[in-house]
Structure 1
Amino acid sequence: MLTFEQKQTIIESFPELTKKEVSLKRLNYHFMDSLYEKTIVVEKLHPNGNGFVFVGDLLRYEEEANDKGLVNIRDYDEQQLREIVEDAIQYLSEEEEDQGPIEEIWQNREGIQLKLAFEQRSWNVYHGENLEEAFGTHDAAKEYLLEEGFRKKK
């Protein structure tokens, strides 16, 4: 496992990233040229070696990524860390293929409807015009809706 300092050196070798200190001596690294609202590439890099890299819905990382599209890099070696940071920067640099809006309506037994919409590489759940939740993958959003008692309207 790489030390905090080794990870920091590798991450800081990417000149397009900007370091920002956050609480508990953790660091975030932002990609300010992101084409999306999301700018954090490396999130909460901690002196204990723990940290996360945002990969959104990249298929290469679907087994490792959590429902927010983050991959834990605690046990990554140098090559793995370089590759995932490069992939994250590229992900935030590329235009989405315009496939038109994707929207689904979900309803619970009380008749309350929520809209699930794919926007700017996120799956967003709306109640009316209000954003309720955002997820990195369709599966994570679907799981949330099902757990909350909603079913996709036909």
Structure 2
Amino acid sequence: MLTFEQKQAIIETFPTLTKKEISLKRLNYHFEASLYEKSIVVEKLHPNGNGFVFIGDLLKYEKEANDKGLVNIRDYSEAALRAILTDAIDYLSEEIDDSPVIEIWASREGTKLELEFNNRSWNIYHQRNLEESFGTREDAVAYLREEGFRPSK
């Protein structure tokens, strides 16, 4: 586990984050260029090593995040901390594109599924019914391939 000082040093390598001291010697780090009302990326970084990173509704972190979109970074490695901070900053600086990307995938039996990117998620639909949802295209494609689907021509 990284120490408070190590986490602080890693976080401070991100020049777009601004440190703000809060109570009990804890720190918040804000992303002032956020396109959304939410600007705190790192919340309540505590001298005991505990702290949270805001990742909103990114499906990549859905198993780790609480209902407020926060992930506890207490046991994160340096690489994992850098990755989640990058994802959090990208999340807050990304304008949501409302125009969906749709791909048709077919099985050998002729069943067709739609892979659609919409609102930060890769969703798989069968006859407009949602079957699965993924945080990355790679995960969605891996699922489709495992289920015997290939891109339709």
What's the CA shift for 1:40? 0.2
Paired residue secondary structure (1:47) = coil
Q: Aligned residue for 1:92?
A: 92
State TM-score, norm by structure 1: 0.64
**Runs of 4+ residues deviating >2 angstroms:** none
Q: In the alignment, what sits opposite 2:34?
A: 34
**Does 2:43 correspond to 1:43?**
yes
- 1:11 aligned partner: 11
Count the aligned residue pairs.
Answer: 101
Question: Counterpart of 2:123?
Answer: none
- 3-state SS, counterpart of residue 20 of structure 1: strand
Q: Which residue of structure 2 lines up, in the alignment, with residue 57 of structure 1?
A: 57
Structure 1 residues 73-88: aligned runs within 5 Å: 73-88=73-88
When Rg is computed on C-alpha atoms for both structures, the one with the higher figure is 2
Q: Deviations over 1:19-42 (max 9, x none)?
A: 000000000000000000000000
TM-score, normalization by structure 2: 0.64
What code does the residue aligned with 1:19 have?
A: K
- For 1:117-128, list aligned pairs within 5 A: none
> What percent identity do the matched residue pairs reach?
80
The one-letter code matched in structure 1 to 2:37 is: E
For structure 2, list consecutive stretches of 5 or more residues without a partner in the other structure: 100-119, 121-153
- Structure 1: give runs of 5+ residues left out of the alignment: 100-120, 122-154
